Amino acid sequence: MSARVITGYITALFALLYLLPLSLRPIISPDESRYGAIALEMLHNHDWWSLKLVSLSYYEKPPMGYWLTASSMALFGENAWGLRFAPALAALVTALATGAIAKRICALPHVGLIATAVQLTLIFPWVFGNVAILDGIFTAFITACVALFVHAATDSERRWRMFFLVLSGVAAAGAFLTKGFLGLAFPAISAGGWLIWQKRWRDLFVLPLVPIASALVISAPLIIQIHKHNPGFWDYFFWVEHVRRFTSPDGNQHPEPWWYFLPMLPVGALLWTLNIGKVWSGFRTSLFRSRGASLCAVWIALPLLLLSASSGKLPAYILPIFPAFSLLIVVSLLNYFSNAPKTLFADQLGRWLLVIVALLCASFILTGHQWLFADPLWRDNSTWRFGLVALALLAWAALDHWAHQASAPTHRLLRMAISPAPLLMIAGLLLPDALIEKSKIGIETLRAQTPAIAQSHTVIVDANMATCVAYATKKFDMTIIGPGGELDNELKLPREQARFITREQVLAQVVLAQKIGSVALVIMRDDLKAFHAPGAPTPQSEFIDGDVSVALFAQVK
């Protein structure tokens, strides 16, 4: 199989797993609606420097991720595709950088292309490449930084070494401007640990100087501009988003125990962790004899120790570790298949398990599946989903059989990467409707009411639904009932605090706003009861769906 054919397979894999699903599921809150609202506000206000969420100062992250999202939406439209394209493209960049590292450290045919395919089919990279959050973009910069540094450290020509080191610093600056100081810490401890393992003491003190200088030259003018347009950003960002999150986070910063990430590693590496026995066998017989061993070891261990020491944790935080997992999986399995080329009983057993599960799904269609409580989860649309899963599993089993027919280890591993693609392609369609509705407070629920809300002169909204309303209506200057959730920060800027009202003030605010125009009120369902009390303003229309209530009031002349 030629490199051109393998490249074609990888292109199709990326298109099917990352580009095709971008518009298949609704926008999920709070994360996607938050980053979408920030990017839209930049576009609509033509202000790419001010960090605003519903026109309130929002200092949780630097602007690089928002810039890329806003650029994507400007190019592809203000829709789910435009919102999610930047993370999908970042997943491809991460996979290509992983392949570049594999090609550099392993003298095996097509190993770079195989590593690219494996990275694209790990569960965590796939999930976060289809979701509009910043961790995928951050991981792309980190992986590119490490890849360029590895090229520089293993290049014999001084001219190209300097070129790669400069670009490595540019990528580090991109990571820093996406999520802050971890963008510098991750590549520093990974590259530094790798040089220490190899006992390259002179390089340890010389090679990092160029990336550091390059990152500083790129970042410094942007840091100054960010400060100029967002006074107090760097002070808040450093002390609250770094120091306090690391030492003693509050409820908004996700405190978790030190071992939190340990079970996340095998989950994030699915579906390849199903081959853990083969990976371990190939790993212990070959990998520690290659120069990639130390890189994989420090790239996994040191960032994991750093993140585990922090009190604030989320699954996406370990996403930059998975390129090292891809390298480990590829080299280990290629070595394993070279020494054990025949199909084993375990391979056949896994294939038959897929067939059995597919037949079970098909039987649920014929015999009924009420006992599974599937209908409440999927709003009585579970039958076709069981059929789709059955077909995807049978396709996986057939492709797995095709994979193990290959005699060349590289061909076998590439086909294994392609095998679960049918199941991953339909995964977005399998998300339970009921759970999505509970998590999204608003984008799809508000779709029918969006034009009326957008045309209202005044919008009054519960703080927990503010980002959904902003993303859906493209209105950012709202009166907010709160503060609450992500809008409850410690900035307490006087001019912004005036936009907040308490629940007790809502009735009076509606009456006041009616004097100058129409009013849209978006609140929780139980709060709507107050407008049926004697003396309360009468809504022109009411809309209730689940926990979300929308009341529209006409202007009182």
User: Distance between alpha carbon 356 and the CA centroid of its chain, in Å?
Assistant: 33
Q: What is the pLDDT of residue 378?
A: 62
User: Distance (Å, rounded) from C-alpha 51 to C-alpha 47?
Assistant: 9
Between CA 418 and CA 399 the distance in angstroms is 8
CB-facing half-sphere around the CA of 350: CA atoms within 13 A: 20
List, in sequence order, the alpha helices (H) in 321-373. Answer: 322-339, 345-367
Would you call 277 exposed, middle or buried from its count of C-beta atoms within 10 A (0-12, 13-18, 19+)? exposed
Q: Which two tokens stand for residue 14?
A: 């990326």
Q: Is 460 helix (H, G, I), strand (E, B) or coil?
A: strand
* Interval 431-464: pLDDT, tens: 666 656 555 455 777 888 899 999 999 999 999 8
Residue by residue, pLDDT tens for the chain (557 residues) are 788 888 999 999 999 999 998 988 888 888 899 999 999 999 999 999 999 999 999 999 999 999 999 999 999 999 999 999 999 999 999 999 999 999 998 878 889 999 999 999 999 999 999 999 999 999 999 999 999 999 999 887 777 899 999 999 999 999 999 999 999 999 999 999 999 988 999 999 999 999 999 999 999 999 999 999 999 999 999 988 888 877 776 656 677 888 999 999 999 998 888 788 888 888 777 655 566 778 888 999 999 999 998 888 889 999 999 999 999 999 888 888 888 766 666 667 778 888 998 888 888 776 665 555 555 566 556 677 788 889 999 999 999 889 888 888 888 899 999 998 998 888 877 766 665 655 545 577 788 889 999 999 999 999 988 999 999 999 999 999 987 777 877 777 888 888 999 988 999 999 999 999 999 999 887 777 777 788 888 899 988 877 788 999 999 97
**What are the structure tokens assigned to 436, written together?**
């999505």
Closest listed residue to residue 466, CA positions, set 1, 38, 7: 38
Nearest Cα to Cα of residue 136 among 119, 112, 113, 114: 119
The pLDDT of residue 440 is 47
Q: Say if residues 233 and 226 touch (Cβ distance below 8 Å).
A: yes
Structure tokens at 223: 């840091």
| Burial class of residue 339 in the structure, from the number of CB atoms within 10 Å of its CB (0-12 exposed, 13-18 middle, 19+ buried) | exposed
**Helix (H) or strand (E) segment spanning residue 541:** strand 541-545
User: Which of 358, 359, 337, 324 has its CA nearest to residue 275?
Assistant: 337
> Is there a contact between 552 and 520 (Cβ–Cβ < 8 Å)?
yes
How many Å apart are CA 123 and CA 424, to the nearest integer?
9
Reduced to 3 states, what is the DSSP secondary structure of residue 500?
strand
pLDDT of residue 247: 78
Task: Give the containing element (helix H, strand E) for 142.
Answer: helix 135-153
Which amino acid is present at 503? Answer: R
Long-range (24+ apart) CB contacts under 8 A made by 429-437 are: 429/24, 429/25, 429/385, 429/388, 430/385, 430/388, 430/389, 431/25, 432/377, 432/378, 433/377, 433/378, 433/379, 433/381, 434/376, 434/377, 434/378, 434/379, 435/377, 436/25, 436/26, 436/28, 437/546
Tokens 């592809």 belong to residue: 76
pLDDT at 210: 95
Residue-range domain boundaries for the chain? 3-233+251-339, 447-553
pLDDT given at position 149 = 96
| Single-letter amino acid code for the residue at 462 | D
